[in-house]
Structure 1
Amino acid sequence: MRRRRAARHSAGAGGFTLVEVMVALVVTSLLVAVLMGALFYMYRVQESLQDELITREKVLRTRAWFEDVLSACLPIKADSGLTNVPFSGSTSEIRCETTQSLRPMLGNAPVPVHLSLVRGDRRTRLAYDEYRPGSEAAEGTRFTLAEWEEAEVEFRFADHDGKESERWPKEDGRQEETLPALVMLRIRQKDTPEQVWIVGLRNDPWFEPPRKMPFGLGIK
Structure 2
Amino acid sequence: MRLDKYLAEAGLGSRKEVKQYIKKGQVTVNDQVEKKDKAQVDPLKDVVTFAGEVIKYQEFYYYLLNKPAGVVSATEDKKDRTVMDLFAEADYRKDLFPVGRLDKDTEGFLLITNDGQLAHELLSPKKHVEKEYLAQVKGVMNEQDQQTFVKGIQLDGELTLPAELMIDETDEEKQTSTVRIVLKEGKFHQVKRMVKACGKEVTYLKRIRMGGLALPDDLAKGSYRELSGEELEQLKASK
TM-score, length of structure 1 as denominator length: 0.24
Question: Which of 1 and 2 has greater Rg?
Answer: 1
Structure with the larger RCO, 1 or 2 (CA within 8 Å, 6+ apart): 2
TM-score, length of structure 2 as denominator length: 0.22
> Which of the two has greater helix per residue?
1
